[in-house]
Amino acid sequence: MTVAPASVRRRFERRRVGGERRAGPLTYAALIVTTIVAIVPLYWTVVAASRTNADIAKTPPPFTPGDNLWSNIRSALDQVDMVKALLNSLVVSGSIALGTVFFCTLAGFAFAKLRFRGSTVLLVLILATMMVPSQLGVVPLFILIAEVGWVNQLQAVILPTLVSAFGVVFMRQYLINALPTEIIEAAVVDGASTFRIFRSIVLPAARPAMAVLGMLTFLMAWNDFFWPIIALSSQNPTVQVALNSLGQGYVPDRSIILAGTLVGTVPVLIVFALLGKQIVGGIMEGAVKG
Amino acid sequence: MRLKAQMATPDQAGSLVAEARGPRQRSAWRTRLTKLDAKVSPYLYISPFFLLFAGFGLFPLAYTAWISLHSVSLQNVDDRTWVGLDNYSRLIHDDQFWNAVMNTLTIGLISTVPQLLMALGLAHLLHYKLRGSTFFRVSLLMPYATSVAAATIVFAMLFGRDFGLINWFLGVFGVDNIDWENGKWSSQIAISTIVTWRWTGYNALIYLAAMQAIPKDLYEAAEVDGASRWQQLRHVTIPGIKPTIVFTVIISTIGATQLFGEPLLFGGAGGYRGGADHQYQTLGLLLYEQGWFNFQLGRAAATAWTMFLIIMVAVAVNALLASRGRSAFTIGRRRRQA
């Protein structure tokens, strides 16, 4: 191998600090523009929801929040039962998150640390289910819940999503690295049952990943749209069903509609603002194997 | 139990002998139990996934095909009349169906292609050593955390003809107000913008995760060879994350075929029609209209099953293209090695 000229080598080394190339000003500029595009619609929601309808029709439009937020929110709550919707969404998303975390940790543990026949095939099968458009089964699913009288009942939207393929793969991936196999072997020698091992060793070790999976699942359940629209109605809505009534309703005042939208969105945005770093980590973690 | 056996009085000798054999028997029983535990438990632990998927995913999907051969009314779901392929022949002769197929296809293309390309570029930028990388990653993921309903309500107003922020912004550059909702292309572009806004950051992070798994010495070798950044992206990064790209293309295709919430809420009241002239009615909306506004669940099932077939074909085409691309890539590599 020929040695590169000193000048080339120096440039090479300078750009290599820390193993990755440093970003130039153009990279920052592009990223800042994209970030603005990502955030402006959310910021504008806050602005428009806190002003009057007449205000947001002005040219140029306002760019700072006004002081009409509370009265707009009150008017929005008169239009749709957003309080009930928030409580329902909390129950639905909370149950789905808890169920998914439990079942996925159990399955992830089995795939990561237990040896059983056909485990590889079954894991591939789980991965393959990610590509099954199960949403398209709405018609029989609706007939089913109509027959058992679950239309407008929260369990109709909770039960079908209590476990996820992503969650199983995600927990498996985490447990493979986080849990030394020797500990489990030692527990087996001591005569612990697999469920005992799960309870006393796996659950404590898996806690960080369980938290991330719980948040991600909560987020997705909170935002789920298609099936809740079909299974529920405005009499017993989740937030998304209430937003659907609001968006498709005949409320002429845009600032009121946006105030209602804000109420339904702020809870997840707060979760996201506080734990965004972990959620980003979770998505990227799951992606490598996915 | 074992403790009791040790404390037994001598006059219970007979039973003591029996008990003395107890521990060994029990331990044999225990070993068998442990073996059974090791054998059966794994299946038990993964069974919730398969049970729930079979019950609420696979079975309804398969049963859709059966329902689609019947006439079923929303008002009386138990009353089903066999109609054979009638629902399908109606679909084939229905202009609204073909309109929905075309809309789904065009919206799918103008939302997915730019979205994935931008995500790729964005991931490339995020892959640099950055100050505030967490800030960028989190804010780029904010749209993903926003629900379809909320995002669409907000964007429908941003795309408003008279008071929308987007028309105001374009007006600064002298563009006349565009009637986004009523035009065919304009409405489809607007809807695709919502999809792109929500998903670009998410896909960028997926790509970024895959890029970080590429060994660094590949880049070093490329740099020593004098490859520019663009060449590195084309010849190192993209081949390196190809499985991930194929995965996101397939997932986006499946998502685009079922597009529902964005067109439903974009037009406001009566959104299931997808605009006054059905100009942005997708197959998902058509299914919803047939089943839950015209009360014809059999026809809705036929549309759902047709969508499933379309997805199968699309995924097969994707997989085929991907495997072809891969063999071309390995041939190229082999030639270079030779």
DSSP string over B39-88: HHHHHHHHHHHHHHHIIIIIHHHHHHHHHTTEEEETTEEEEEEE-TTHHH
Residues B150-178: what's their mean pLDDT? 91
Q: How far apart are CA A201 and CA B315, in angstroms?
A: 41
- CA-CA-CA-CA dihedral for A140, A146, A152, A153, to nearest 10: -90
Side chain identity at residue B309, one-letter code: L
The rounded distance, in Å, linking the Cα atoms of B291 and B268 is 20
Q: Indicate the range of A168-172, A283-287, B97-101, B214-218 predicted with least confidence.
A: A283-287
In this prediction, what percent of chain B has a pLDDT beyond 70? 88
Quick one: pLDDT at residue B261?
A: 93
Q: How far is Cα B102 from Cα B97, in angstroms, rounded to an integer?
A: 9
Q: What is the rounded average pLDDT for all residues in chain B?
A: 86
Fold of A82-289: MetI-like fold (1.10.3720)
Share of chain B above pLDDT 90, in %: 63
Please say whether the beta carbons of B167 and B177 come within 8 A: yes
Q: Give B13's pLDDT tier (boundaries 50, 70, 90).
A: very low
Q: Calculate how close chain A gets to B211, using CA atoms only, in Å.
A: 9
Average pLDDT over residues A51-58: 86
A:183-212 residues touching chain B, CB 8 A cutoff: 188, 191, 193-195, 198
**3-state SS assignment for residue A61:** coil
- The whole-angstrom separation of Cα B123 and Cα B138 is 13
* Rounded Cα distance, B273 and B14, in Å: 86
Structure tokens at A184: 């489990």
Return the structure tokens found at B46. 């993964």
Beta bridge partners, B129, equal A22
Compare CB distances from A143 to B77, B197, B212 and report the shortest one's residue.
Answer: B77
**Which H, E and C letters describe B190-245, residue by residue?**
HHHHHHHHHHHHHHHHHHHHHHHCCCHHHHHHHHHCCCCHHHHHHHHHHHHCHHHH
pLDDT at B12 over 70: no
Instruction: Mark yes or no for CB contact B141/A147 under 8 Å.
Output: no
pLDDT exceeds cutoff 80 at A115:
yes
Between A59, A109, A250, which is nearest B45 by CB? Answer: A109
Span of A235-239, B160-164, B194-198 with lowest mean pLDDT: B160-164
CA distance B299 to B67: 9
Record: contact B163-A160, CB cut-off 8 A: no
Neighbours of B48 (CB within 10 A): 19
Residue B105 reports pLDDT greater than 90: yes
C-alpha to C-alpha distances, B293 to A103, B285, B290, nearest whole angstrom: 37, 11, 6
Q: Are B197 and A37 in contact (CB under 8 A)?
A: yes
Assess whether pLDDT exceeds 50 at residue B7: no
Mean pLDDT of B274-296: 94
Rounded to an integer, what distance in angstroms lies between the CA atom of residue B187 and that of residue B322? 32
Instruction: Give the Cα-Cα-Cα angle B1, B4, B5 (nearest 5 degrees).
Output: 95
pLDDT range class, residue A288, cuts 50, 70, 90: low
Asked if residues A38 and B155 have their Cβ atoms less than 8 Å apart, the reply is no
Beta bridge mates, B70: B82
Q: What is the spatial distance between Cα B122 and Cα A37, in angstroms, rounded to a whole number?
A: 13
Report the alpha-carbon distance of residue B199 to residue B201 in Å, rounded.
Answer: 6
Decide: A113 and A266 in contact? Cβ < 8 Å.
no
Averaged pLDDT for residues B176-194: 94
Mutating which of A45, A92, A136, A288 best tests the B interface, going by the most B Cβ atoms within 10 A? Answer: A136
Helix axis angle, A239-248 relative to A203-223, nearest 10°? 20
Structure confidence at residue B14 (pLDDT): 42
User: pLDDT-derived band of residue B21, with 50, 70 and 90 as boundaries?
Assistant: low
Q: Is the pLDDT of residue B102 over 90?
A: yes
CA distance A98 to A161: 11
Interface contact A142-B148, CB threshold 8 A: no
What mean pLDDT is reported for chain A? 88
Overall average pLDDT of the A112-125 stretch:
93
Return the closest-CA partner of residue B111 out of B335, B293, B305, B282: B282
Q: How far apart are CA B58 and CA B164, in angstroms?
A: 43
At A119, is the pLDDT very low, low, confident or very high (cuts 50, 70, 90)? Answer: very high
Residue whose pair of structure tokens reads 């990653």 in the numeric block? B137
Assign A234 to helix, strand or coil.
coil
Which of B142, B153, B163 has its CB closest to that of A38?
A: B142
Q: Give contacts of A197 with chain B, Cβ < 8 Å.
A: none
Q: CB neighbours of B170 closer than 8 A, spacing ≥ 6?
A: B178
Tell me, what's the pLDDT at A92?
Answer: 97
A87 contact partners, CB below 8 Å, separation of at least 6: none
Q: Which of B137, B99, B158, B153 has the alpha carbon at shortest distance from B285?
A: B99
The owner of tokens 């629900």 is: B147
Annotated domain spans of chain A: 25-67, 82-289
**Cα R_g (chain A), whole angstroms:** 25
CATH superfamily of B86-337: MetI-like (1.10.3720.10)
Report pLDDT digits (tens) over A202-231: 999 999 999 999 999 999 999 999 999 999
Query: What's the alpha-carbon Rg for chain B, to the nearest Å?
Result: 30
Domain ranges of chain B: 2-67, 86-337
Residue A124 contacts by C-beta under 8 Å, 6 or more apart in sequence? Answer: none
Nearest CB to A194: which of B37, B52, B151?
B37
The total of other beta-carbon atoms located within 10 Å of residue B146's CB is: 23
Q: Does residue B217 sit in helix, strand or coil?
A: helix
pLDDT in tens, B245-273: 998 999 999 999 999 999 999 987 778 99
- Rounded mean pLDDT, A100-104: 97
